[in-house]
Amino acid sequence: MTHYSAWSIVRNGLSGNRGWTRAWRDPAPKPAYDVVIVGGGGHGLATAFYLAKEHSLRNIAVIEKGWLGGGNTGRNTTIVRSNYMIPGNTMFYERSMRMWENLSQELNFNVMMSQRGQFHLGHSPAQMDGLRRRGNVMRAHDIDSELMDRAEVMRRLPYLDYSEKARYPIYGAMFQGRAGTARHDAVAWGYARAADRLGVDIIQQCEVTGYLRDGERICGVETTRGPIRAGKVGLAVAGHTSLLAAKAGLRLPIETHALQAFVTEPIKPFIDHVISSGAAHFYISQSDKGGLVLGGDLDGYNSYAQRGGLPEVEHTLASAMALIPSLSRLRLLRHWAGVMDMTMDGSPIIAKTPIEGLYLNGGWCYGGFKATPASGWCFAHTIATDTPHDDNARFTLSRFERGTQIDEKAAGPQPNMQ
């Protein structure tokens, strides 16, 4: 397998691009591994990579029922930011941001990290107070954040609706300059290739259907391609977390909900940053191909259907039009949905489970893409050492019964409101 470089592009370009070799192997599952990770999304692949790289484990498999990145990793709006306020979240997401900044180099794969900056709009004096507080917490943790008033936002984002009768009046914004977007598929492929180079077996079209047990302990998985024994099993299956936990006898503080995203026909450069709005729960950015990528709220009821309903289409597009009236004549190219593992406090779980041999990475809600590097890194640490790292120490399963939820939105145990 070749190392990618400017030189390899020139060399292969001159020889008609016939010299490229496949980016990762397609091995048949072995009878046993030290660690089996279930789920070939960004989180599962990153976990395998860091288990191999940081903890020198070599006998690892990632098992994916479909294709790599075919879950939420390949369906999300790719916003990467670290503007979280509650202890437990703040430094975890900042760890992730710092890892993103070097990820293309670390993986030798261009993940197209684009730190174009994110404006989070404030639509009332109270929201501006909230953003000032959040920004101050960030700055106290050495995370960049700027508060901008209405005049500054008007100068930077002249196309928003600033009129007297605007549905969402603009009072200002919180700006994180290091935030931005990355290419979702490249993240899955980059981690897959880098993990494969360290000997990780990546097995696609293989569904985990149950567990192998040694007494109470879990010692492997049943799959559609036969049983596979494992010293440890780690779950990273996003919206399907409850189903795989149920097979092990666990009930979780999770509901599965659908979230939709949209992309318009491509246009010339128009929106230079990521823009989000807390009032409308709406976010938009422009892809490198020119399409505007936008998304909104959950559909609002439990759903495993990877497609959404029309009311949320209307809501998202109405929000888009209310904030940026000049979008009115754009046509949508595609829209789709993913199924989210929504927790009862809106924060994730990276922890050992009460069942020996089983480790859980889940509950990412609609915000886990940005977490991919730190999630993989912390989950690998938890699996390899049997203790959490400081940065995921609060992402426990027991926090709910202990009353130490990390409820960034203060929405309470109502997943469709988180």
Partner 1 sequence: MIRLDCPVCGHRDETEFAYLGDATVRRPDPSITDPGTWADFVFLRDNPRGAHCEYWQHVMGCREWLIVNRNTATHQIDSCQLARSVFAGEATMAASS
Ligand X SMILES: Cc1cc2nc3c(=O)[nH]c(=O)nc-3n(C[C@H](O)[C@H](O)[C@H](O)COP(=O)(O)OP(=O)(O)OC[C@H]3O[C@@H](n4cnc5c(N)ncnc54)[C@H](O)[C@@H]3O)c2cc1C
Binding site for ligand X (CB under 6 A): 38-44, 63-66, 70-73, 75-79, 207-208, 236-238, 240, 244, 259-261, 295, 338, 340, 364, 366-370
Distance in Å, CB of 80 to ligand X, minimum:
6
Residue 413 binding result from ligand X, partner 1, none, given CB thresholds of 5 to 8 Å by partner type: partner 1
Task: Give min distance, CB of 209 to partner 1, in A.
Answer: 14
Least separation in angstroms between residue 111's CB and ligand X is 13
Query: What would the DSSP string read from start to end of 381-410?
Result: HHHHHSS--GGGTT--STHHHHT----TT-
CA angle centred on 96, ends 90 and 98, rounded to 5°: 100
Q: Pick the closer one to ligand X by CB: 190 or 367.
A: 367
Q: Which does 308 bind (CB under 5 to 8 A by kind): ligand X, partner 1, none?
A: none
373 binds, among partner 1, ligand X, none (CB under 5 to 8 A by kind): none
Q: Which residue number, 112 or 397, has a Cβ lying nearer to partner 1?
A: 397
The Cα–Cα gap between 289 and 78 comes to: 14
Task: For residue 363, give Cα distances in angstroms to 134, 210, 379, 380.
Answer: 23, 20, 13, 17
What gap in Å lies between CA 407 and CA 410, rounded to an integer? 5
CA 243 to chain centre: 20
Cβ proximity to partner 1: between 171 and 400 the closer is 400
What is the closest distance, in whole angstroms, from the C-beta atom of residue 61 to partner 1 in the complex? 25
> Please, what is the minimum distance in Å from the beta carbon of residue 227 to ligand X?
14
Residue type for 169, please?
P
Q: Which two tokens stand for residue 111?
A: 């993940």
Q: Is 376 helix (H, G, I), strand (E, B) or coil?
A: helix
- CB 313 to partner 1: min, Å: 10
Work out what residue 302 binds among partner 1, ligand X, none; the CB cut-off runs from 5 to 8 Å by kind.
partner 1
Instruction: Give whichever of 121 and 128 is closer to ligand X, judged by the CB atom.
Output: 121
Q: Is the four-CA dihedral 193, 36, 372, 380 of positive or negative sign?
A: negative
Report the partner that residue 255 touches, choosing among partner 1, ligand X, none (CB closer than 5 to 8 A by kind): partner 1
The residues of the shown chain that bind partner 1, judged by CB under 8 A, are 240, 242-243, 246, 251-256, 300-305, 309-311, 344, 400-401, 413-416
**Closest CB to ligand X among residues 128, 237:** 237
Strand 358-362 to strand 292-302: parallel, antiparallel, or no bridges (unpaired)? unpaired
- Report what 367 binds from partner 1, ligand X, none; CB cut-off 5-8 Å by kind: ligand X
- In the bound state with ligand X, the residue whose beta carbon lies nearer, of 70 and 220, is 70
Nearer CB in complex with partner 1: 38/99: 38
Cβ of residue 360: shortest distance to partner 1, in angstroms? 14
Q: Which is nearer to ligand X, 68 or 128 (CB)?
A: 68
DSSP state letter for 22: P
Sort 273 into a burial class: Cβ within 10 Å, 0-12 / 13-18 / 19+: buried
* Binder of residue 392, out of ligand X, partner 1, none (CB less than 5 to 8 A by kind): none
3-state secondary structure of 195: helix
> Which residue's CB is nearer to partner 1, number 12 or number 302?
302
DSSP per-residue string spanning 316-360: HHHHHHHH-GGGTTPPEEEEEEEEEEEESSS--EEEE-SSTTEEE
- From the CB of 201, what's the least distance to ligand X, in Å? 14
CB 312 within 8 A of CB 296: yes
Task: State whether the Cα torsion 124-125-126-129 is positive or negative.
Answer: positive
Which partner in partner 1, ligand X, none is near 77 (CB below 5 to 8 A by kind)? ligand X
CA gap 371, 96 in Å, rounded: 6
Residues 6+ apart with CB under 8 A from 155: none
* Shortest Cβ 287–ligand X spacing (Å): 12
Tell me which of ligand X, partner 1, none is bound by residue 366, counting a contact when its beta carbon lies within the kind-specific cut-off of 5 to 8 angstroms: ligand X
